[in-house]
Amino acid sequence: MIIGVPKEIKNNENRVAIAPGNVANLVHSGHKIYIEKGAGEGSFFSDEDYAKYGAEIKDTAEEVWAAEMVLKVKEPLKEEYKYFREDLILMTYLHLASDEELTTAVVESGMTAVAYETMVLNGTLPLLAPMSEVAGSYAIQAGAHYLESRHGGKGILLGGVPGVSRGKVVIIGGGKVGEYAARIALGMGAEVTVLDLNPARLAELKNIFQGNVNTVHSDAFNIAREVKDADIVLGSVLIPGKKAPILVTKEMIQSMEPGSVVIDVAIDQGGNFETSDHATTHDDPIYVREGIIHYTVANIPGAVPQTSTLALTNATMRYVTEIANKGIVQAAKDNTTIYTGVNAASGKLTNEAVAETSHFDYVEYSELVK
């Protein structure tokens, strides 16, 4: 199979969908790899690094998109829609539930679109997990940064000092993002509270952190109470394939002290905060609503691209290799994780959760590939 890896064009998206070492394994299996010139530079991988392992370096995105399967990190932007076609396999983070225009372009093209974020393995999301770990870790660093008064924050040091209270971090959602955010917040010396619906997960987090985090059942009353006194609130609740639920209302935001910070890690899927009215970029990462600093960058892991690229490709390559070796139809039949990643094929939506948020009908993928 010919596999293409274009350069990411989203603002400050310096990750790349494949690392040089991954190229070597795929070429050894008989596949051709096209890398767009400069695609790896943001992650500190040179064209020479890729060529050394057998990749063909292409001068233009058009040449790379002509491959049978295209690997990306982030969802295609409008200027890339022109490359969509019926016989293309696209594998990336798609987040179709929050982007009707992209959904329309994908469906109308007839391509087969495989979304990292909906791939399920034993009840977990194996391709979302590594980026969730990065996003959770980085988000707290960003929150601490914007709490500084020179950035408009209330001037709080998360760890406090003797005789002065620690900062309070509230994390809504106890998944991988929440867990790794809690690790960093605790490491900075903050008081940390995690809210989640699942009592078993709360018990697990209590055990992981040896009782050093407060665990609270997630409901509207408890969220409102915890948010009111927080210095940083992080929202990290996602439902695979669907829009993220609004958990923090405008009234809750208004109850916070001016200069507090909210971080909406779920912004790719619409966001957990009612006041998260748009995604931001690494060039312009924050805005202020109701006196509260909002950090709503849609590609947080792009800030640390080398770590993120390696973590992502460690997780993706087993599935990429299987699709390349077998073709998407047989790979999806043989591997339920790949099957759950197929969001669209043959002009139909094949993920029920995504279809619920769009005007397109849902068709089971197996019905299209009998």
Q: Which of 31, 95, 231, 264 is catalytic?
A: 95
Q: Which of 31, 264, 268, 294 is catalytic?
A: 268
**Alpha helices by DSSP H, 2-128:** 20-28, 47-52, 61-65, 100-109
CB of 182 closer than 8 Å to CB of 190: no
Q: How far is CA 206 from the centre of its chain?
A: 25
Planar angle of CA 336, 339, 344, nearest 5 degrees: 170
Please report how the helices 129-146 and 305-326 are oriented relative to each other, as an axis angle in degrees rounded to 10.
Answer: 160
Distance CA 129, CA 123 (A): 12
Say which residue the tokens 């001068």 belong to.
59
Q: Which two tokens stand for residue 47?
A: 């064209």
Burial class (CB in 10 A: 0-12, 13-18, 19+), 279: middle
Q: Which two tokens stand for residue 355?
A: 């279809």
Q: How far is CA 72 from the centre of its chain?
A: 13
CA dihedral 99, 102, 106, 109 (to 10 degrees): 150
Give SS3 for 342. Answer: strand
Would residue 268 show up in a list of annotated catalytic residues for this protein? yes
Q: 207-219 burial by CB neighbour count: b if 16+ within 10 A, else e?
A: eebeeebbbbebe
Catalytic (active-site) positions:
95, 268
